[in-house]
Amino acid sequence: MPNNLDASFYATTPIFYVNDAPHIGHAYTEVAADVLTRWHRQRGEDAFLLTGTDEHGEKILRTAAANKVEPQAWVDKLVHDAWLPLLNTIDIDNQDFIRTTEPRHEKNVQKFLQHLYDKGFIYRGEFVGNYCVGCEEYKTEGDLIDGEGDFAGQAVCAIHSKPVEKLHETNYFFKLSEFQQPLLDFYAANPKFIQPESARNEVVSFVRRGLEDLSISRSKEKFDWGIDIPWDDSHITYVWFDALLNYITAIGYGEDEAAFEKRWPASVQIVGKDILRFHAVIWPAMLMAADLPTPKQVFGHGWLLVGGEKMSKSKLTGIAPHQITDTFGSDAFRYYFMKAIAFGSDGSFSWEDLSARYQSELANGFGNLASRVIAMIHRYFDGTLPASGPDTEAELEIQKIAADAVAAADAAIDDVAIHEAIAQVWTLVDALNGYITVQEPWVLAKDEATRERLATVLYTTAEGLRALSVLLSPVVPKATAKLWSALAAQSLGDLADRPIREAADWGQLPAGAKIAELEPLFPRIEQDAETK
Ligand code: MSP
């Protein structure tokens, strides 16, 4: 078994615009990064998850103005009332939370800019072009589509369906064009840098078409909610240039070199596919210019769709995460989105699909398995875990399925195929349910002559539940913690750091352990609550 104890794992989510409250698309990114980080921690790695908020830029300034408050007051309120509570709503175990208005960020963004300016990668020039405030992005003509309805006859942003602004400004530019070949060489040498494959191909062909220098400042005459350009305080930093640097300012860049070197480069940066180019083109070029290592991987996930379109607050299709967790709980939220949508592909959310999977997979498949096993240990052995008799083919088969599930799920996590990892673990849920049906412990219990066999069956299923607790803890941490404690498995250590790769090592639960009662892990949900 490889020893990963010294390995460090650093995952990031995008930092979220605080112009509005979070919807389930944002929560989706958070959960994926959290599941990966928890899994790596259970591999024995020093795992660190960073998330945070992107608080500068015109979009936020306009929202604050529309709400008649100062931008700082607006972002403080949104962060405290909406974005920090989100972490609790969906049970995110992040090690840090960075806000781009914090001094640790602003100061070191300026350091980074000054460094690039001194190295000759930044120059003053004329910008003429289009800008979408919704995307906070410069747009070429090719990025625009024909508007509809109120905007018929105008070119609009393909994502926001709103007209773009025409800009003509003197700005500072980053020499992005110089990095075309270095980036292409880098992608070729690091085929896993951009994942999934479709995202990689899209980015590579985009870069092959040529890169233009990037405007990285805006004149304060236009608006002034951002970080001052250090050598020219009549300009502020372009919000994306500022935001991307959060991944290094949070871990000590410019301030604590030892801490920075311990974590950087990031192991995986999880982003939605709409912001992949920023992360897979601009970001590595910025780092190359500063002579800093590039992240090991950028993974572009798909969108949650409503009516075939990206769910978004601006199109009024956003669903707040608590609308789901209030009824189904945070574990079901996490499980559903990670299992039902192949990570990397788009997926449509529906209440019907959520509630069907809750009932069949979580309540009947896993929850009921746990309840039955624990109830039978109480009924037939007074709540004391019996010692197993000799294993037969059937028990060896369960042990093999468990070992295969661990290996396959762990390999799927290396490919960031979270849905696949869960599917692999589920082979053990299904196998244990099948084993109980075939072994019929309730029949074995009727005859004293088969008491040892009954003990073997219940020990095997309890061990199966122990393995499942360990394997599913990154996905459904609350339910598995309840199960761990019902199995009296604290004697083995804290569930959150039980080694994934030892999950199938059989015979860990000590015979004689006092098994506690277990309330239903996924209680029945009343029909009217399901459909809202
Ligand atoms: N602030 C920038 C990111 C800067 S990172 C240096 C930003 N913020 S965002 O709030 O608009 O989006 C954050 C993340 O949420 C993105 O990864 C985006 O893809 C994701 N999602 C927003 N809507 C989504 C869906 N409907 N579905 C899935 N993810 C979606 O972009």
User: What pLDDT does 309 receive?
Assistant: 82
Pocket flag, ligand 1, residue 217 (CB < 6 Å): no
Domains parsed from the chain with CATH numbers: 351-529 (1.10.730.10)
Q: Which of 13, 15, 16 has most ligand 1 atoms within 8 Å of CB, for mutation?
A: 16
Q: Which of 18, 19, 29 has most ligand 1 atoms within 8 Å of CB, for mutation?
A: 29
User: What pLDDT does 531 receive?
Assistant: 46
Pocket flag, ligand 1, residue 26 (CB < 6 Å): yes
From the number of C-beta atoms within 10 Å of its C-beta (0-12, 13-18, 19+), residue 15 rates as buried
User: What pLDDT does 318 receive?
Assistant: 84
- Cα of 370 to ligand 1 centre, how many Å? 37
% of the chain with per-residue pLDDT over 90: 90
Give the 3-state secondary structure of 76-93: HHHHHHHHHHHHHHCCCC
pLDDT tens-digit series, residues 495-522: 999 999 999 999 999 999 999 999 999 9
Distance from C-alpha of 199 to C-alpha of 48, rounded to nearest angstrom: 25
Q: Which residues of 72-104 are buried (b: 16+ CB within 10 A; e: fewer)?
A: eebbbebbeebbeebbebbbbebbebbbbbbeb
User: What pLDDT does 161 receive?
Assistant: 87
Which one, of 385, 364, 311, lies nearest residue 521 by Cα?
A: 364
Pocket flag, ligand 1, residue 22 (CB < 6 Å): no
pLDDT tens-digit series, residues 170-210: 999 999 999 999 999 999 999 999 999 999 999 999 999 99
CB neighbour list of residue 245: distance below 8 Å, 6 or more residues apart: 105, 108, 109, 112, 253, 286
Query: What pLDDT band is residue 527 in, cutting at 50, 70 and 90?
Result: low
Continuous H helices in 264-329: 276-277, 283-289, 321-328
Residue whose entry in the numeric block shows the structure tokens 């059989």? 506
Query: What pLDDT band is residue 311 in, cutting at 50, 70 and 90?
Result: confident
Output the pTM of the full model.
0.96
pLDDT tens-digit series, residues 117-174: 999 999 999 999 999 998 999 998 888 999 998 899 888 998 888 899 999 999 999 9
Residue whose entry in the numeric block shows the structure tokens 């794992």? 9
| Rounded mean pLDDT, 441-468 | 98
| Rounded mean pLDDT, 233-261 | 97
The enclosing H or E element of 429 equals helix 418-439
- Cα of 12 to ligand 1 centre, how many Å? 13
Ligand 1 atom at minimum distance from 247 CA: 6
| Rounded mean pLDDT, 390-397 | 98
Distance from C-alpha of 28 to C-alpha of 47, rounded to nearest angstrom: 20
Continuous H helices in 10-152: 24-41, 58-66, 71-78, 84-89, 103-118
Residue 346 CB neighbour total at 10 angstroms: 14
323 vs 24, 32, 87, 430, CA distance in Å? 9, 19, 15, 30
Pocket flag, ligand 1, residue 29 (CB < 6 Å): yes
